[in-house]
Amino acid sequence: MDFGKLFSKLVDVVKENIETAAAKPASQPSAQPKPTPQPATPHYEEEIVRTDSEWLAYFREILATAFPQYTVRENVPVTDIAGFANDEFQLYKTRPRQAYKAEWGQPYTFVLEQMGSAKGVVMLGKGHSHDSNVKYLIARMYAKKAGIPYINFYTQMPNERDYVIGRIRKFLN
């Protein structure tokens, strides 16, 4: 079949579709379905604003009362957990063999210990940027290498008591 015949058949099909559509009785335009109402995103009516020292006191109290079986140490250098290690591991895709030293890591806000052995790390950080800050990444990597659960909390979030306790229990078990 040549191009001319193919084009002629295509024109015939289009004309037939137009005539069929014109022959149908005019119907009312289809109504657009109403969008389903989306649940409201959770917002916190009363934002809790605390200073750094107030956050530390708040978590200190939670750890002391909800986890009395642990000794709690504060502001613990990464070297207390990992020693003075000078490792190579991948924190960034562009630098897969970058050397990192444990002493460069952000000190752990709280370390939960039992019988002199670290059982969990609780880190407080401002904003989500502390997830990408190299000091926090080094601290997290050394906790992971030591097999210690690393639990971080953002201080711009409410961090209600039940949430904090539940999350720490989840990581420790």
Average pLDDT score over residue span 151-160: 91
Higher-confidence position of 43 and 102? 102
Average pLDDT score over residue span 98-117: 87
d(CA 10, CA 67) in angstroms, rounded, equals 78
pLDDT digits (tens, 9 = 90+) for 43-97: 554 556 889 899 999 999 999 999 999 999 999 999 898 877 666 666 666 766 7
pLDDT the model gives residue 105: 84
Q: Are 144 and 90 in contact (CB under 8 A)?
A: no
pLDDT the model gives residue 89: 64
pLDDT the model gives residue 69: 96
Q: pTM of this prediction?
A: 0.66
Domain assignments of the chain as residue spans, ordered by start: 52-172
